[in-house]
Amino acid sequence: MTTTSPAPAAVDADRWPDVARVPRARLRATAARALARYAARRAGVRITTVGTPEPGGVRRPADARQRADVGQWGDARQRGEACDPGGVRITIPGAPDPDDVRQGAEVGQRGEARAPGDTRYPVGAQDPGEDAPVLRLHDPDAFHRRLGSDGLIGLGESYMAGEWDSPDPVALLTRLAEHYTDLVPRPLQPLRHITLPRRVRGERNTRAAARRNIGHHYDLSNDLFALFLDRTMTYSAALFDGPGPRDPDTLAAAQERKIDRLLDAVGAGPGTTLLEIGTGWGSLALRAARRGARVTTVTLSTEQRDLAERRLAAAGAGGAVDVRLLDYRDVDGEYDAVVSVEMIEAVGEHDWPTYFSALNRLVRPGGRVGLQSITMDHRLMRASRHSYTWMHKYVFPGGLIPSVTAIERQVRERTSLRVVDRHAFGADYADTLLVWRRSFDAAADQVAELGFDPVFRRMWDFYLAYCEAGFRSGIIDVEQILLERAR
């Protein structure tokens, strides 16, 4: 599906300083060109060039630029080296043999598919074929400079700037995620931890930092979220009932099914005292109140708090639900059950012990805790825990997706809780994101009317596509995890 968000005609440098500014990074750009070709071959992705900017803003046809490249630097490519216009040559460990480079490196740039059975691909490479995902470069120089300077942050910023796109960004990002461990030659993989941005050591989600981080995302605009969420205003994975259409109506039913499964698991019913950590816009609290539960729900988002209170009052459930603008660390009391849907991802690794200790403290002996959490493989979590990513910079600052292993370790070491049930449904999250992305793209004009510029709209498109690809590839998952406190 092609994004409907146009490339920005101009970038507001005050609002988007790092999108407006292209890094110099000539040497790194040279390496990035070679690595991009290597990654495309490994993943079976076609890279095409739509056009490249020339001095004065004139665009030269892509194949003309490529012919110049081949003629000027063909000798370097025959040796498995990458060249930039300054004549710098970099040999990439793991580069294909000279014949592959001479006959095939430019093929990826032109987007030509090799015939099945062509043996010019190095061992381990994927033959893209005619149906391969396509990365379409509009400004190859800027793209490679950003990629070389900032890695995946640069990839996202380049998309925001309109320097590349794809006829199907989810298919492209899914293919890259499926080959994540193969995209960089093995001898160079240790360098990622040296050359790419890192998070500040000891960074903590203090109360002030947590409120600031939550506000960065959830206080953008209730009207914005209403444009792409379903009628329940639920902003987490839905649980679909088997195959079938994926649209706003089936999504709403799937969201209610997800909520009901979690409420059933913790035994929410008439007279139950229920604590919800992370209010959202009140959909779970409302369904719990309709069961007869007495609900306390806490959030750090003023926008969410205000709309949740209005929605609950309009539904006649205001008297059964107490919505508080409060950090989970400051909640007191004891409840029959606690639920928390996709909030742990914002807690941060340093504060996981505090979070799980709070869950243990806030649920009565014999009571249950229902968590819904995005998860990732434990080895991948450990490898990426200190990375500073595009998602941290633009969408969800301060968080970390946990692994199931990490959750189970915190439960075992910090609480008297035990895991009694787990249910994974990552494919349903991919479909949830598909509906959100379609709805967001269909509402492009309304998003603009709310004051969100083309750079923001491309950022949001990339965010939704990036997440959908994560779930479709299986690199991340989502689970409902049921915990029970010892009596």
147 in Cβ contact with 32 (< 8 Å): yes
More confident residue, 76 or 347: 347
Q: How far apart are CA 72 and CA 57, in angstroms?
A: 23
* 349 exposure class (CB count in 10 Å sphere: 0-12, 13-18, 19+): middle
Tell me: pLDDT of 141 over 50: yes
Q: How far apart are CA 36 and CA 31, in angstroms?
A: 9
301 in Cβ contact with 214 (< 8 Å): yes
The H-assigned helical ranges of 2-88 are 17-20, 26-43, 62-78
Tell me: pLDDT of 471 over 80: yes
Q: Residue 429 CB: number of other CB atoms within 10 A? A: 24
pLDDT of residue 79: 37
Amino acid found at 393? K
Confidence bin at 102 (pLDDT 50/70/90): very low
Token pair recorded at residue 210: 């947590």
109 in Cβ contact with 115 (< 8 Å): no
Three-state SS at 120 = coil
Tell me: pLDDT of 202 over 70: no
Summarised one tens digit per residue, pLDDT across range 287-336 is 999 999 999 999 999 999 999 999 999 999 999 999 999 999 999 999 99
Summarised one tens digit per residue, pLDDT across range 345-385 is 999 999 999 999 999 999 999 999 999 999 999 999 998 88
DSSP annotation of 443: T
pTM for this prediction: 0.84
355 in Cβ contact with 233 (< 8 Å): no
Confidence bin at 115 (pLDDT 50/70/90): very low
Tell me: pLDDT of 28 over 80: yes
Which helix (DSSP H) or strand (DSSP E) does residue 392 occupy? helix 390-394
pLDDT of residue 378: 96
Token pair recorded at residue 218: 């959830």
Enumerate the β-bridge partners of residue 165.
136
Q: Looking only at Cα atoms, what is the longest distance across the chain?
A: 78
Range in 44-53, 81-90, 362-371, 454-463 with the lowest mean pLDDT? 81-90
Q: How far apart are CA 310 and CA 444, in angstroms?
A: 26
Residues known to be catalytic? 467
pLDDT of residue 385: 86
Enumerate the β-bridge partners of residue 423.
480
User: Cα dist. 293→97, 256, 318, 371, 431 in Å?
Assistant: 67, 16, 12, 18, 31
Sheet strand arrangement including 164-165: 46-49, 134-137, 164-165
Question: Nearest CA to 372 among 332, 322, 327, 428?
Answer: 428
The H-assigned helical ranges of 237-365 are 248-266, 283-290, 302-314, 352-362
Summarised one tens digit per residue, pLDDT across range 248-276 is 999 999 999 999 999 999 999 999 999 99
What is the end-to-end Cα distance of the chain in Å, rounded? Answer: 52
Q: Residue 390 CB: number of other CB atoms within 10 A? A: 22
Q: What is the DSSP string of 327-361?
A: -GGG--S-EEEEEEES-GGGT-GGGHHHHHHHHHH
